[in-house]
């Protein structure tokens, strides 16, 4: 095993309440979020004003996970401007479906007309790190720091290094099929309960499934000797910049030497994708969906969220379908800063897809914010 540097020292970004302290603190007519750490939104009025109030729930893809994207560039703020509604962004790094369900009793007194639930990555991610529930969330102090990304940024090859985050939480590890299935079943139950409680209270719901970068490497399965042999070295975040003239036959020859190396499979898929080969979509989707370190949500999460939405007549903002239509069948890597956190273009796409669903739920007649324009869709960089 070779690492890119010394073990990473994480810094605290948010402490998720354990239910005894509460998520929101009320001071007279004002409300202060207690759980968002340094990404806390400003205090707000307890009662809604003349505009419809929307509460936006989620993890770091909703709030705080996109370094370099200001709060006004996040999807929630874009939708608020386009629809002329009040949006309270109560997303927080590390929040999963269990967190959002626990938060709901404190959201309802805010009298929202609608709630947007943008989730799906953290249920599996938190299970990997053994950090579900009240655990402290960590953020590596690295270039373009992202929740969970310390694995990719620390690992040169395949096996994990003894990172400080592991000592803080217990060593993260691969999920068995049984653990994965149980975690996804819990996600469905939690979302079903959340949507049922909201709709019973007369609050409209829009579910927003996750999207992730199909060109991002897994934290498992590196083979540095073979990738070095191809002249490829990992960049920031563990990603590989792949030359346009890379020989596909050479990649496949090395894959035959180590079939378990997911990095080589990823490189093959990216080369195939750039050459418009149909088999690339299936290969890259399979790598993501079968990743034993599932920091990127598999497609099954999207389908489970769709089922919950249909069961309750809730809105479903199919961001993944919109993203794939932009990227020849896969999400363009340019929508992401890393393996899952959104770039400015990614937030623009989420806002573009969510706004019409939310407008219908609220009975608002307004045009959605524009979709992003990508000058180039590349799977090599």
The total of other beta-carbon atoms located within 10 Å of residue 30's CB is 12
Is residue 218 in a domain?
no
CA distance 102 to 22: 9
Is residue 380 in a domain?
no
CA distance 54 to 112: 5
Per-residue pLDDT, 185:
98
- Say whether both 172 and 268 belong to one domain: no
What's the structural domain count of the chain? Answer: 2
Per-residue pLDDT, 130:
67
> Do the Cβ atoms of 301 and 187 come closer than 8 Å?
yes
The single residue listed with the structure tokens 């402290």 is 136
- Say whether both 310 and 168 belong to one domain: yes
Per-residue pLDDT, 67:
87
Per-residue pLDDT, 214:
93
Domain boundary among 289, 308, 342: 289
Is residue 80 in a domain?
yes
Is residue 4 in a domain?
no
- Say whether both 14 and 95 belong to one domain: yes
Please list the ranges in the chain whose pLDDT falls under 50.
1-15, 17-19, 131-172
Is residue 109 in a domain?
yes
- Say whether both 25 and 60 belong to one domain: yes
- Say whether both 285 and 305 belong to one domain: no
E-strand stretches of 185-275? 204-208
Is residue 347 in a domain?
yes
- Say whether both 268 and 165 belong to one domain: no
Closest CA to 155 of 345, 3, 335: 3
**CA quadruple 304, 214, 75, 323: dihedral positive or negative?**
negative
CA distance 21 to 34: 9
> Do the Cβ atoms of 13 and 38 come closer than 8 Å?
yes
Domain boundary among 269, 289, 309: 289
- Say whether both 281 and 160 belong to one domain: no
- Say whether both 154 and 136 belong to one domain: yes
- Say whether both 126 and 261 belong to one domain: no
- Say whether both 74 and 123 belong to one domain: yes
Give the model confidence (pLDDT) of 9-56 as tens digits.
333 344 454 445 689 999 999 999 999 988 999 999 999 999 999 999
Domain boundary among 256, 271, 289: 289
Mean pLDDT over each residue of the chain, to the nearest integer: 83
Per-residue pLDDT, 146:
35
Give the model confidence (pLDDT) of 70-87 as tens digits.
999 999 999 999 999 999
E-strand stretches of the chain? 10-15, 24-27, 30-33, 44-45, 53-58, 86-89, 114-118, 136-140, 204-208, 315-316
Per-residue pLDDT, 221:
60
- Say whether both 198 and 107 belong to one domain: yes
Is residue 376 in a domain?
no
pTM of the model: 0.84
- Say whether both 302 and 171 belong to one domain: yes
- Which range of residues forms the domain containing residue 229? 224-289
Is residue 371 in a domain?
no
In CATH, what number is assigned to the domain containing residue 112? 3.40.50.1110
């Amino acid at each position: 095993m070779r690492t890119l540097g010394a073990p990473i020292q994480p810094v605290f970004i948010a402490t998720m309440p354990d239910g005894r302290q509460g998520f929101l603190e009320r001071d007279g007519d004002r409300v202060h979020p207690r759980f968002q750490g340094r990404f806390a939104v400003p205090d707000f009025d307890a009662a809604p004003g003349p505009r419809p109030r929307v509460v936006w729930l989620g993890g770091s893809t909703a709030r705080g996970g996109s370094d370099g994207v200001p709060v006004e560039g996040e999807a929630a703020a874009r939708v608020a401007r386009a629809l002329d509604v009040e949006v309270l962004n109560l997303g927080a790094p590390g929040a999963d479906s269990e967190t959002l369900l626990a938060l709901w009793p404190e959201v309802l007194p805010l009298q929202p007309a609608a709630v947007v639930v943008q989730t799906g990555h953290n249920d599996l991610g938190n299970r990997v790190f053994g950090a579900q529930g009240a655990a402290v969330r960590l953020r590596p102090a690295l270039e373009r720091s992202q929740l969970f990304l310390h694995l990719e940024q620390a690992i040169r090859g395949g096996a994990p290094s003894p990172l400080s985050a592991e000592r803080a939480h217990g060593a993260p590890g691969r999920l068995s099929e049984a653990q994965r299935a149980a975690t996804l079943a819990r996600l469905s139950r939690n979302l079903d309960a959340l949507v049922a409680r909201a709709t019973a209270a007369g609050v409209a719901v829009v579910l927003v499934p996750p999207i992730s970068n199909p060109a991002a490497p897994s934290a498992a399965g590196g083979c540095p000797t073979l990738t070095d042999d191809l002249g490829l070295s990992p960049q920031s975040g563990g990603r590989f910049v792949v030359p346009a003239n890379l020989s596909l036959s050479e990649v496949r020859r090395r894959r035959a030497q180590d079939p378990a190396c997911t990095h080589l499979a990823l490189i093959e898929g990216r080369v195939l994708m750039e050459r418009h080969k149909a088999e690339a979509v299936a290969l890259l989707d399979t790598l993501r969906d079968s990743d034993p370190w599932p920091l990127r949500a598999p497609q099954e999460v999207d389908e489970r969220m769709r089922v919950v939405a249909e069961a309750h007549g809730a809105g479903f903002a199919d961001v993944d379908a919109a993203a794939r239509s932009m990227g020849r069948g896969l999400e363009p890597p340019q929508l992401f800063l890393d393996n899952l956190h959104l770039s400015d273009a990614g937030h623009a796409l989420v806002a573009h897809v969510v706004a019409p669903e939310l407008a219908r739920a609220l009975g608002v007649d307004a045009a959605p914010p524009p979709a992003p324009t990508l000058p180039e869709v590349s799977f090599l960089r």
